[in-house]
Structure 1
Amino acid sequence: MTEPAVHAPQLVPSPGCPPPHPAPRTPNLALPRDSCDAHCHVLGPADVFPYAPDRTFTPVDAPKEQLRALHGHLGLKRAVIVQSSCHGHDHSGLLDALRSGDGRLRGVALIGETTTRAEIEELHRAGVRAFRLNFLPHLRTPPTRAEIDSVLQQVDGLGWAAQLHVRGEEIAVLEDLVRALPGRVVVDHIGRVDLTAGHDGPALRSLRALLDSGHVWVKVSGVDRVSRQGPPYADAVALAADLVAYAPERVVWGTDYPHVNITGDAPDDGLLVDLIEGIAPDPAHLRRLMVDNPAELFDFPSTH
């Protein structure tokens, strides 16, 4: 008798995990050569790269092939893939994606107490150049200073940046910690600041002060998360433009594809690319944002 086929269980996406936009528009903005999406994710497919049993959300699969097709559509040649907390400390999917990238991909890892030095060195060889610290309670319990020190010790000597995922006034609370971290520090998604506090609120004052330190960078990604107005996110675009003008040498941009843990539908990634024109209207700043800065921060080959 033929054995019945065994199928992976159907996973139901969590609320806040809609599918990506079904038909992102073709951007009007012509991006500089070797432009980089400095913040995106590869998720699953779950039947090949299972999600962590203790995950706090279940996304819609967004495999490497889907991400590559999107980047081709948007005119992006390079990318930094950030390990999602839904995959935990299992970097199999990230490694698979990086190894298929022909040198055009870099990665950001999630390092835990059980991650070995051998695993970290494997990640480095594949293109990982940063580790992420999640301070958002819906993703995990925020790391203690002891946990952070342990991660720093594990990655010592590799030159990785520390990437911080914080929300709103947390950046002000964590300012002393950020200043004390060795090496470069990257703040995700404009710190997910609350724009109702205005451009001179505590979070943005701290963010600018950290940018003044010279070793802190900010991703002007996630305008759809920060905006209080909805598409085309004019309030968040104005804030991102202010930060690019303030510290043009320490800003990078990303799609945040496929946009998990959001309210409503996923944004149009083609629109997000076109909004870069308002974020970096100066051509010199545009090149720094999209090419030179991510090359420096994530160790891509120079294009000069």
Structure 2
Amino acid sequence: MAATGSVLGIEHTRPDFDVPAGACDCHVHVFGPDDRFPLSRDRLYTPGPAPLADLLAHQRTLGLDRVVIVQPSTYSTDNSCMLDALHHLGGKARGVAVVDAGASEKTLRDLHEAGIRGLRVNLETVGVTDPLAARSHLEKTAAQAAPFGWHVQVYVDLGVIAALHDVIRDLPVPVVFDHFARANAAKGPDQPHFAALLSLMHSGKAYVKLSAPRRISDLPDHADAGEIAKILARANPERLLWGSDWPHPGARPGIARDPNRIEPFHPDDDGLALNRLNSWMGSADLTRRVLVENPARLYGF
């Protein structure tokens, strides 16, 4: 049995392959402490603590050298917690921020100096499914990101992606789709709107994060998500990223979210997730491209 390492009380299998130098986890969050970094009053859920020390343990367990910290919805546009982590991690980390529509040029420039390389538009979590509203969010955020050479990261479903295909293609910045672009793994490549995602990947406009397969797959080993990953790799291997989604926040089916109580993190085994990625990619060269070369290009490592 492979050795394990415990992070936040969860045992994580150590990788069963040689993780390449410079490998990057492109989707993690940090939470807390609450007395220093208060949560937004308008948050949809309340996470437990997931501080920088535990993120570093997560990185050591998986043998990863670099990390991208993504602003979670619980902090709204207050990026302080993430920026504090970036300050301590230095050149090994980059960030994806959330900002107000009226953020000043100085604010954005300061974020760039701190290591921010993208802006997040979290449409799925806040329930934005109207293409017109989504288009407005995307275009305004892209205009903020463009002068700094950043990208826009979007969590949204395939239907909105298809409806806005031409808008996304013509944005002045790359677009990164979270969590397999919300493709339904069980429905496979013939599901509605999947072709629009492949088109945007073929064009080089869109990246897809192979992250949090439990969000798209109900199978214990997420084999059907693996089939989606392989199709995306064939579409454009230079536009794939991998993220663990550590510490694994997210709603549970059938359970209403309640910000008045702490919502437990999902007990995902990140070592198994990394091993699955390597198996899905099928070669050391492609695994290296996803873990090292693509993140280095997009995030400027």
With the length of structure 1 as denominator, give the TM-score of the two structures.
Answer: 0.86
Which runs of no fewer than 5 residues in structure 2 stay unpaired? 1-6, 254-265
Stretches of structure 1 that go unaligned for 5 or more consecutive residues are: 1-18
1:217-243 per-residue CA deviation (whole Å, 9 max, x = no partner) reads 11111212211212x211112211221
**Correspondence for 2:116:** 128
Matched, 1:298 2:262: no
Distance 2:151 2:99 in 1: 13
Matched residue of 1:219: which SS?
Answer: strand
Which one of 57, 60, 65 corresponds to residue 45 of structure 2?
57
Structure 1 residues 215-268: Cα deviation after superposition (integer angstroms, max 9, x where no partner): 2111111212211212x2111122112212321111110101111114384311
- What CA distance in whole angstroms lies between the structure 2 residues aligned with 1:131 and 1:66? 24
Higher helix content, 1 or 2: 2
Please name the residue that 2:190 is paired with: 200
Question: Does the CA contact (< 8 Å) of 1:166 and 1:187 recur in 2?
Answer: yes
Aligned to 1:150: 140
Query: 1:79 is matched with which residue?
Result: 67
Secondary structure in 1 aligned to 2:169? helix
1:217 aligned partner:
207
- The 1-side partners of 2:102 and 2:34 are apart by 22
After TM superposition, what 4+ stretches of structure 1 lie above 6 angstroms from structure 2? none
1:27 equivalent to 2:28? Answer no
Choose which of 76, 80, 104 in structure 2 pairs with 1:116.
104
2:282 match: 281
Write the distance in 2 (CA, Å) between the matches of 1:223 and 1:124. 30
Of residues 239, 243, 253, the one that matches 1:250 is: 239
- Mapped partners of 1:280, 1:220: distance in 2: 11
What SS does the aligned partner of 2:46 have? coil
Structure 1 residue 20 displacement after superposition: 5.4
Distance in 1 separating the partners of 2:31 and 2:127: 18
Q: Aligned residue for 1:8?
A: none
Q: CA separation of 1:201/1:78 partners in 2, compared to 1, >3 Å: closer, same or farther?
A: same
Deviation larger for 173-182 or 279-288: 173-182
Paired residues of 1:29 and 1:273 also in contact (CA < 8 A):
no
Q: Which has the higher strand share?
A: 2
* Amino acid paired to 1:251: L
Output the CA distance in 1 between the equivalents of 2:139 and 2:114: 24
Percent identity at matched positions?
36
> How many equivalent pairs are there?
280
CA contact (8 A) 2:141 2:152 kept: no
Deviation at 1:114, TM superposition (A): 4.2
CA distance in 1, matches of 2:141, 2:242: 25
One-letter code aligned to 2:156: V
Measured after TM superposition, the shift of residue 150 of structure 1 is 3.1
